[in-house]
């Protein structure tokens, strides 16, 4: 009986240490996944001496955890993200994973003489990325990546695991010398991907119906949702389709429909997804014995080098070549191929099936993941800044809290803490720039409720409750956000902010830049929108003469309302200022400030 309590004590302490250490490590720029894995290894056989070798149990824990993590990822992916990056991310998650696996397999075969089927198994195991960890790290460091790149990596991370799992199972069948024709392989792929997507969509629609029709205690809705998600996952797996794709699609369907207890469900899944990630990584860390990795260390480092330097970059450049991505965007996406727990998880079936070399495959996957976390994970934020993809925070800086409203109200209530430097500070209350139909319900000042009628202005640290249409929330974010601080980096967004609704003709006259005939009479926003096929996003850059226009902000309808002026376009940096000369460059700066001032007054 004492052993039971000892296990509970050790497990609980490991969970507490994982959360605390993860928070501390993020402040140091260390990838959180590395910390969780390291704690598991520290508690294992070569550390505190906990012996854990239940591979089947670890596979069960990791399967449940991965399903929960993918469901949470789908729950938070918006339709607008797919609209921006649907096709590029889909190509990366399928063709890109296949190219990555193939190149790594060729490398393993050439360097170590691994049989073709075994080499393909190695490639498939390490082919998928964990972009969710990257964005968690960037959020903690208050970095906002250009949206087109961010959306592509976000959707890819949710879609590439099923492809990697399919390739891994296919390689296991080939290693096991099972006869498998090309037609059978294609049929299996279509069943896995098509069936998983269909079951996920149907399961998501059923879940929306169930949540909206079932009257129960508020605290039971999150439990109902996570139990239903695992039902979709397990059911899809039993039917021979991809349960991982199904559970991601189900989360996406639920997350993009209005339903009961939406904020309660999101908050619960934020915690349960982190718990799942911690449990998964601690379990995998416990399962490995570091001293047993030494025999495969050099081959694994060779695989990691091929993966990071050749396979991932080549796959990204080939897959994103047909789409509108600049060289620096493709370079960043290539480097941010961060490997997480999935490659280690995919190595477990080989051990469970008692395949020759299964333990070695597990060791290779573990070393590849550790290498990726150390080299790539620690350099994600510097790489974003170096490649000018780290945008200054804008609407994301608003301190917002969402409040649940009765289902069917078709209105949202949100609470904002008025931040110092916000546009609403000291503004007369009757002149607050609220969207049409939005209304302030109440204001809390110094712990007391103050009726709006008794206020003449808002002060820093006031807490404001606003009711508005769901489509107006992002507009409110901009209003209540703190303005960019002095000295904050603007390299990725241009030196000056300019109102995009101004005429391009005035822009050309002030800068002495020849306006293209087809642009005459148009606004700056219209010119940029046409250049990006009607779908510009924050971070998009458009060279125009000797300067570059950078999309900074869009309204709720997706129209460009603010651009930045970069006086040194990407293609010319850092030599443009020398080419223009210091006096001419300074003159451009004065004109830019004039144009920016006119835009702000407008």
Beta bridge partners of residue 468, listed in sequence order: 412
d(CA 12, CA 80): 39
522: tokens are 């148009």
pLDDT of residue 575: 38
- The residue with greater pLDDT, 321 or 261, is 321
DSSP 442: E
| Contact criterion met (CB below 8 Å) for 308 and 62 | no
- The residue with greater pLDDT, 73 or 310, is 310
Residue ranges and CATH numbers for the domains of the chain are 2-389 (1.20.1530.20), 395-480 (3.30.70.1450), 496-601 (3.30.465.10)
Q: DSSP strand E in 284-331: where?
A: none
Strand pairing of 439-445 and 547-554?
unpaired
At residue 29, does pLDDT exceed 60? no
pLDDT of residue 302: 92
pLDDT of residue 36: 77
Most confident stretch, 30-39, 243-252, 269-278, 560-569: 243-252
The CA-atom distances, in angstroms, between 177 and each of 94, 105, 240, 305 are 25, 18, 21, 29
- Phi, psi torsion values for 128, nearest 5 degrees: -90, 155
- Phi, psi torsion values for 476, nearest 5 degrees: -65, -35
What is the mean pLDDT of the segment spanning 259-278?
83
User: 169: exposed, middle or buried (C-beta count within 10 Å: 0-12, 13-18, 19+)?
Assistant: middle
At residue 193, does pLDDT exceed 80? yes
| pTM summary value | 0.74
At residue 484, does pLDDT exceed 70? no
In the chain, the N- to C-terminal Cα span, in Å, equals: 74
pLDDT of residue 247: 93
Q: DSSP strand E in 42-170: where?
A: 144-145
pLDDT of residue 79: 81
pLDDT tens digits along 63-116: 999 899 889 888 888 887 777 778 898 999 899 999 999 999 999 998 888 888
At residue 314, does pLDDT exceed 80? yes
Peptide bond connecting 205 to the previous residue in cis, omega within 30 degrees of 0: no
d(CA 353, CA 389): 44
pLDDT of residue 106: 93
* DSSP secondary structure string for all residues of 201-238: HHHHHHHHHHHHH----TTHHHHHHHHHHHHHHHHHHH
**What's the chain's length in residues?**
602
pLDDT of residue 225: 93
The CA-atom distances, in angstroms, between 187 and each of 92, 128, 166, 183, 476 are 21, 22, 12, 6, 49
């Amino acid at each position: 009986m004492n052993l039971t309590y000892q296990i509970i004590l050790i497990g609980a302490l490991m969970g507490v240490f994982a959360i605390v250490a993860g928070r501390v490590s993020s402040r140091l720029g260390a990838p959180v996944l590395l910390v969780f894995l390291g704690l598991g290894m520290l508690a294992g056989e070569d550390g505190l001496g906990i012996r854990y070798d239940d591979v089947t149990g670890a596979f069960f824990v990791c399967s449940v955890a991965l399903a929960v993590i993918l469901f949470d990822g789908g729950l938070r992916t918006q339709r607008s993200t797919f609209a921006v990056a649907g096709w590029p991310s889909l190509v990366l998650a399928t063709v890109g994973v296949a190219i990555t696996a193939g190149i790594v397999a060729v490398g393993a075969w050439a360097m170590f003489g691994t049989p073709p089927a075994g080499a393909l198994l190695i490639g498939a195991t390490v082919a998928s990325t964990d972009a969710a960890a990257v964005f968690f790290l960037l959020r903690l460091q208050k970095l906002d990546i250009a949206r087109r790149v961010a959306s592509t990596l976000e959707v890819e991370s949710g879609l590439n695991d099923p492809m990697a799992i399919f390739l891994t199972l296919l390689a296991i069948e080939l290693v096991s010398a099972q006869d498998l024709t090309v037609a059978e392989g294609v049929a299996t792929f279509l069943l896995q991907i098509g069936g998983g997507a269909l079951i996920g969509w149907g399961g998501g629609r059923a879940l929306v119906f169930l949540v909206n029709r079932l009257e129960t205690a508020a605290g039971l809705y999150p439990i109902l949702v996570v139990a239903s998600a695992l039902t979709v996952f397990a059911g899809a797996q039993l039917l021979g389709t991809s349960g991982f794709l199904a559970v991601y699609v189900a989360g996406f369907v639920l997350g993009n429909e209005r339903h009961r207890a939406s904020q309660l469900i999101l908050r619960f899944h934020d915690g349960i997804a982190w718990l799942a990630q911690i449990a998964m990584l601690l379990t995998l860390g416990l399962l490995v014995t570091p001293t047993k990795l030494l025999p495969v260390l050099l081959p694994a480092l060779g695989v990691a080098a091929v993966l990071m330097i050749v396979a991932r970059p080549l796959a990204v450049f080939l897959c994103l070549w047909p789409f509108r991505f600049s060289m620096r965007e493709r370079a960043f996406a290539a480097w941010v191929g961060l490997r997480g727990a999935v490659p280690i998880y995919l190595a477990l079936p080989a051990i469970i099936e008692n395949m020759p070399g299964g333990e070695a495959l597990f060791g290779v996957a573990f070393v590849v993941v550790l290498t990726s976390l150390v080299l790539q994970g620690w350099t994600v934020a510097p790489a974003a800044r170096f490649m000018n993809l780290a945008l200054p925070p804008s609407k994301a800086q608003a301190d917002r809290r969402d409040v649940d409203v009765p289902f069917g109200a078709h209105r949202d209530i949100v609470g904002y803490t008025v931040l110092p430097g916000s546009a609403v500070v000291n503004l007369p209350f009757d002149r607050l720039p609220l969207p049409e139909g939005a209304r302030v319900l109440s204001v809390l000042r110094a712990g007391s409720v103050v009726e709006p009628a008794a206020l003449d202005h808002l002060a820093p640290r006031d807490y404001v409750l606003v009711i508005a249409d769901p489509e107006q929330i992002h507009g409110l974010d901009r209003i209540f956000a703190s303005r960019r601080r002095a000295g904050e980096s603007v390299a990725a967004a241009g030196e000056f902010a300019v109102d995009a609704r101004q005429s391009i003709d005035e822009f050309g006259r002030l800068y002495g830049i020849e306006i293209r005939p087809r642009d005459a009479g148009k606004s700056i926003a219209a010119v940029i929108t046409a250049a990006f096929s009607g779908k510009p996003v924050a971070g998009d850059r458009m060279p125009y003469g000797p300067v570059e226009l950078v999309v900074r902000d869009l309204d709720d309808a997706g129209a460009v309302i603010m651009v930045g002026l970069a006086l040194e376009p990407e293609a010319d940096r850092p030599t443009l200022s020398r080419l223009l000369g210091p006096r001419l460059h300074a003159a451009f700066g004065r004109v830019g400030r004039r144009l920016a001032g006119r835009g702000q007054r407008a």
